[in-house]
Chain A
Amino acid sequence: MVPGPHPLGQLGNELLSRRLVFVTGKGGVGKSSITAALARISSRAGLKTLVCEVDAKGDVAANFGAEHVGFKPKSVAPNLYVMAMDTEEALAEYLRLNLRLPIITSLGPLARAFDFVANAAPGVKEILVVGKLSWEVRERNWDIIWVDASASGHIVSQLASPEGISELFKLGIVKEQTAWMQEILSDPRTTSLVLVLTPEETPVTESLELLERLRYETSIHVEACVVNKVLGEPFAAGQAALFTEIAHGKYREDFEAISEGSADALVAASELSHGLRTLRSEQIRGFLAGLDEGIETVFVPYFMGAEEGTKLTIEIAEALMEEMS
């Protein structure tokens, strides 16, 4: 379905040939920005693209400079639509399309009752999320759907919900519906997952744990890991030695002479940066060492001080394109 040649390499092309891609990661790693950037890439490659935000705070649209979106997909750019998942609306839509139930025109009390049942049995909400997404895939409404998925832990129960649901549901439509969903979710040509993390200790540890759980508890194809907010490499060898002389050695006086009384602050900033870069490089090494073979890793630089919005999305998209070419 990818029309014509574009500058993406194998990973990029494979990723864009999927129909449903879950993008997940711990809070604070920039999952929404990455999802938005990937969606920008696919839409500009000519693919009719949907971004679906699950666990909605309703602000993934901000990454495209658009206002709050709801359940109904909203066009934010050519080929690019955004929606926020809403399990109640997903149920209403499902019932309308499948059961043609007259009662659905006035969903009021049923919706409230549903909320009860759904809260009591977590599988119900998860299956509605996964169900709605799988439905969109099956109906071929889009070339590709990027899911700004739930924070790490919850994604496992969502992806495993079609399998897990049979423990609770012995009969009924929910049970019957899970087979085709399972087929879509477990087909690596159709569906895959991208894990986003930052090179910091907790995100690295939790990402490795999550990959382990995804492998054993779901049948999802993990396509790639995106290491976000990577700081550039520390000084090259010759530079580092010279910096040391500038900071504390024989060139300190020369440096003070040209730094207008701010030598301390300038040196401190570089040392802070150097410390952070070194630690982040160590975290990346640790992550790569713990990563299974066959999972691609791409790196996105830290755009310091950038506010989320179209500009940041474009910058990240360009960085991703370059990494995937």
Chain B
Amino acid sequence: MDDLLSKLITENSILVTAGAGGVGKTTTAAALGLVAALETRRKVLILTVDPARRLADAMGLANFGNVVTRVDISGFAHPHPHGALYAAMLDTKASWDDLVARYAPNMRVRQEILANPIYANISGRFVQSHDYIAMEALYDIYNRGEFDLIVVDTPPSRNAIDFLDAPERMAEFFSSKLLRWITAPYRSRLVSAAFKPFYQVADRILGSQFLAEVAEFFMLFQSMYEGFIERANSVAGVLRSPQCSFVVVATPEYVPMREAEFFLGALKERELNLGAMIVNRSLPDYLRDPHARRAAGSMVAESAKLAERGFAGADAKVVASVLAEVGSTFVDFAGLAAEERSLLATLSVEHKRVLRAPYLETDVADLQALARIGYNIKSADISTRGNPRK
């Protein structure tokens, strides 16, 4: 197994995968978790947000209520599993309800919050709330100390970075003066003149009932303020701790790479640990062989002539068409591979932190396929010079 991969799964307590949509974040997280459970003696949890159905089925995941399920890996003979694997699918709504239950000062407040329509909206649909609650659930599980390693994938955010700032934003949210603005007229009949313009506008746009519901929600939530802030800060603290590393995932394409670049910068800025950058669907090395590229080129250019050298008994025209196709296919893929190389070269990341996972021709339908991905994650030679064939 690759050294860096081995370090990732033995030296961390938390691994967080992040990256643009469609790059295979969830699959990578699951593959890392599985390899860890097979290769180490650790008790591993894969905490996932929105897995593709076949991946969820492969892990035997239930689609409700933050239930931790044991994944049966006893079928693996080589290697025989040393650790244990568990998986859970994050249920945003249930996680929010748990949080309210924990911090509501009493039963009445708790019931009122759970019944508030604004709360229902936030917990169910509010996209950014997923970012926060994923980190919150991670923290909760981490604190219980039942697992040696938790691998978590992040929600498909508009911006991969949102969830990093979510704990702090949540804290800001509850400590802001604006919160007092909104709730002021409902806390007291004496609305100061300063609030009036805001209310005139807000009332006309949003309607008074909606505003009242918002205010009620904020007032109720304020009662949980202290516990909440403390919690948000602790969550941020765990993400910063040396036990937690981030794994940035990308595919060798322009847009995902740019997103990865952005994310790498954001990690640095926040002094968070980069465990590795994994390039998924990386093309095989033979495509970077200049000799083969030359041979392919002449096969396209001189297919008719080459078709006459041998191939006895075959129609020369068909031979020529196949040779031209073989040649141009290589040229096309070599172009893609070169593009991949140049994209990697522009990344501002230490080259020794970069891993590659091969282009798999199928989606992951079972644990064996997942293991294949995991074991094929290898360090990437991303120097632009030099012939890989040596």
Contacts and interface: CB of A to CB of B under 8 A. Distances in A.
B41 to A, nearest CB: 33
A251 B176 contact: no
A5 interface: no
B126 A239 contact: no
Given A27-B20, A112-B178, A304 B336 contact: yes
A133 to B, nearest CB: 18
Nearest to A32: B255
Q: Which of A99, A112, A257, A273 has the most chain B CB atoms closer than 10 A to its own CB?
A: A273
B102 interface: no
B52 A201 contact: yes
B202 A117 contact: yes
Contact of A258 (B178, B299, B336): B299
B203 A172 contact: yes
B234 to A, nearest CB: 23
Given A28-B20, A28-B22, A235 B325 contact: yes
A117 B182 contact: yes
Contacts of A55: 158
Contacts of A261: 291, 295
Nearest to B159: A57
A262 B296 contact: yes
A202 interface: yes
Contacts of A174: 205-207
A253 B218 CA distance: 77
Contacts of B205: 91, 95, 172-174
Interface in B259-295: 284, 286-287, 289, 291-292, 294-295
Interface stretch (B81-89, B224-232, B308-316, B344-352): B308-316
Interface stretch (A121-129, A210-218, A315-323): A121-129
A233 to B, nearest CB: 11
Interface string A256-299: 01111110111111101101100100000000000000000000
B173 to A, nearest CB: 8
A172 to B, nearest CB: 3
Interface stretch (B6-14, B69-77, B105-113, B115-123): B115-123
Contacts of A260: 291, 294-295, 298
A50 B229 CA distance: 44
Interface in A170-203: 170-175, 200-203
B33 interface: no
A273 B121 CA distance: 46
Contact of A279 (B182, B254, B338, B362): B362
A113 B181 contact: yes
A109 interface: yes
Interface in B299-349: 299, 306, 309-311, 314-315, 318-319, 321-323, 325-327, 329-330, 332-336, 338-339
The A interface, classified by DSSP as helix, strand, loop or mixed, is: helix
B361 A264 contact: no
Q: Which of A112, A120, A257 has the most chain B CB atoms closer than 10 A to its own CB?
A: A120
A280 to B, nearest CB: 10
Given A26-B22, A235-B322, A270-B326, A103 B201 contact: yes
Contacts of A170: 207, 209-210
Contact of B338 (A203, A265, A305): A305
A169 B214 CA distance: 11
A259 B22 CA distance: 37
Contacts of B173: 116, 119
Q: Which of A117, A154, A269 has the most chain B CB atoms closer than 10 A to its own CB?
A: A269
A124 B125 CA distance: 12
Contacts of B64: none
A305 B206 contact: no
A130 interface: no
Nearest to A26: B22
B309 A257 contact: yes
Contacts of A142: none
Given A121-B214, A200-B363, A202-B52, A272 B126 contact: no
A29 interface: yes
B126 A168 contact: no
A238 interface: yes
A167 B120 CA distance: 12
A272 B20 contact: no
Interface string B23-58: 100000000000000000000000000001110000
Q: Which of A157, A203, A239 has the most chain B CB atoms closer than 10 A to its own CB?
A: A239
B22 A175 contact: no
Contacts of B359: 272
A117 B218 CA distance: 10
Q: Which of A150, A172, A239, A279 has the most chain B CB atoms closer than 10 A to its own CB?
A: A172
B292 A265 contact: yes
B319 A266 contact: no
Interface of A: 26-29, 55, 57, 91, 95, 99, 101, 103, 109-110, 112-113, 116-117, 119-124, 150-151, 154, 157, 167-175, 200-203, 205, 235, 238-239, 242-243, 245-246, 251, 253-254, 257-262, 264-270, 272-273, 275-276, 279, 304-305, 307-308
Given A124-B206, A235-B325, A305-B336, 8 more contacts: A99-B201, A200-B363, A239-B325, A246-B322, A258-B310, A265-B330, A266-B326, A304-B335
| 4 closest residue pairs by CB, A with B | A27-B21, A172-B207, A28-B22, A254-B310
Interface of B: 20-23, 52-54, 117-118, 121-122, 125-128, 156, 158-159, 173, 176, 178-179, 181-182, 197-198, 200-210, 213-214, 217-218, 251, 253-256, 284, 286-287, 289, 291-292, 294-296, 298-299, 306, 309-311, 314-315, 318-319, 321-323, 325-327, 329-330, 332-336, 338-339, 359, 361-363
